[in-house]
Amino acid sequence: MDSDAKGDSMEELKGLRITPLDDDDDDGEEEELEDEVDEDDEEEEDEAVILGFLEKPENSWSLLRQQFPSKAGGIPAWLDPDNLPSKKSSRCDICGNPLQFVLQVYAPLVEKETTFHRTLFVFMCISMKCLSQDQHEQWKRHPEKQSRSVKVFRCQLPRANPFYSSEAPKGNATDKPLTPGAPLCAWCGTWKGNEFCTDCKIAQYCSSEHKAMHSSSGHKLECQQLSLSSNSSDPNACNSGIQQIRKRKVASRSLWPEFEMKNEHESEYDTDMSEDDRCTDNSLVPSNKIDYSMKSLEKYFEEDGEKNSNAVFQRQISKAPEQVLRYCRSANSKPLWPMSSGRPSKADIPRCNHCGSPLCFEFQILPQLLYFFGVKDDNESLDWATIAVYTCESSCEGVGYREEFAWVQLAPPTNFPSLPL
C-alpha cells in the first residue's frame, strides 16, 4: 500500500502540525493557504484540506496519550489527564446518559505558546432519538444553554506542562507520561470516576448507570475478590486490587472499535484523477472498501432537490471515498455540506462561550465513520450526513477542557421509496 510517492507525502505531512512536536521550519504553512476572495458556495474553495483516514493501530502504545494521537473509537487519550470535563458535561443533555467517545484530533497551533499541544475531542450519545432531538436544539439561536447530544471539547497545553516531557516522544513503548492522571470509570474508561463501588470501594464509576451496568455484567465476582483484598491487613493486597482494575481500563463492550487516524493532504489525490477514472486502480485503498464507502454515500447523491450540493460533495469526496474527516482551520474555510438543506447560517453559529470570540470552522466528520464503527444501517441506528466542528478563533486559554460547538446535518431518511429506473 505504501508506494514511494506516498511515503514522501507522509514525510511532508509530518511538518503539518497534526503530528506532534515538530517545532521547526514549518512557520510558512499558514501563509501558503490561498487568501482568495470567497465568492459563493457554488465555487469550491481551494483551501488546503487535510483528510483523516482510519487504520488499525500498529502497536498497543501508539494511541496512548503521551503519543499525542489522533484517533477514533475506543476511549479518549485525554490530553490533560487530571482536569477532565465535569460530570454534567460528560452526559447527554437530553437523556442524561454518559456520552460515548467518537474521535479526537491532535491539532496544535503554531502561533501561540499555550497551544503547543492542542487536541479536540468529540463525543455523542449513541441514541438516534437524542440526535433527532439535538437537531431542534442546535437551531435555537443563542439560548441560555442548548441541550446537546453531541459535544466537542478543546484542551491545550504549553510545551512545559506538568503532564508530559517537553521533549518530543520517541514514538515507542518507552514514552511515559509524567503523571498517572485521574482515575477513570471502570465501565466506560472514558470519564472521570466519581463514585466508588459500594462493596469493594475500589472500582470507580462516572455515573450510577455505569456502576449498575458493571455490577450486572461481571463485576460481582471481581468485587468479592477486591473486597477481600481491601479488607485484608496487607496493604500490598489492596494496591494490587487497584492496579488490577486500572490495568484492565474498560469493561464495557459497547464502545466503538478503536482506530488510529492518519492524515493526508487532499491535494495528494488530485493527480491522475480525472472525473471518469475515480475509484479505479490508482486508489490506495482496497476496492471492496471503496464500494462500501460509496454505497454509504449514495443516499446523498440521489435526491433531485439536492443536486447542487451533492455534485460538489460527490466530486470532492470521491477522490478519496474512505476519508472520515476533513480538516481545514483557516479564516475562509467552510464545511463541505452533503446537502443544501440543514446548513447553518452565520447567525446560527454562536460565539465562544468563554471569551466571546467568533467560532471558526475547523473540521468535519463524514458518515463513513459509521461504517468503521460497525453501526447498523437501519432507522433506529445512529446516522448523520456530517458533523461540522467550530472552535474558538483565538483558541482561548483555560484549565482543562472548553466546550466548543458542533453542527450536525442529519442524513436523509433511509426508507424513502426507491425510484423507478
Residues contributing to the site for Zn ion (CB under 5 A): 92, 94-95, 125, 127, 130, 149, 185, 187-188, 197, 199-200, 203, 206, 210, 223, 352, 354-355, 357, 392, 396
Distance in Å, CB of 219 to Zn ion, minimum: 6
The answer to whether the beta carbons of residues 92 and 99 sit under 8 Å apart is yes
Which residue, 313 or 373, is less far from Zn ion as judged by CB? 373
Which residue, 300 or 363, is less far from Zn ion as judged by CB? 363
Distance in Å, CB of 330 to Zn ion, minimum: 17
Which residue, 130 or 320, is less far from Zn ion as judged by CB? 130
Question: Among 28, 25, 131, which residue's Cα sits nearest to residue 411?
Answer: 131
d(CA 92, CA 221): 31
The answer to whether the beta carbons of residues 63 and 260 sit under 8 Å apart is yes
Beta-carbon contacts of residue 285 (< 8 Å; ≥ 6 apart): 53, 321, 322
Question: Among 345, 336, 346, 349, which residue's Cα sits nearest to residue 300?
Answer: 336
How many C-beta atoms lie closer than 10 Å to residue 147's C-beta?
Answer: 15
Distance in Å, CB of 266 to Zn ion, minimum: 28
Which residue, 56 or 145, is less far from Zn ion as judged by CB? 145
Which residue, 295 or 376, is less far from Zn ion as judged by CB? 376
Task: Read off the amino acid at residue 8.
Answer: D
Distance in Å, CB of 384 to Zn ion, minimum: 14
Distance in Å, CB of 90 to Zn ion, minimum: 8
Distance in Å, CB of 229 to Zn ion, minimum: 11
The answer to whether the beta carbons of residues 74 and 260 sit under 8 Å apart is no
Name the helix (H) or strand (E) containing 229. Answer: helix 220-231
d(CA 166, CA 364): 30
Distance in Å, CB of 223 to Zn ion, minimum: 3
Written as one string, the DSSP assignment of 26-91 is -TTHHHHS-------TTSPP----EEEEEE--SSTTTTSGGG---EESSS---SSSSSPPPTTTTB
Which residue, 291 or 397, is less far from Zn ion as judged by CB? 397
Which residue, 330 or 357, is less far from Zn ion as judged by CB? 357
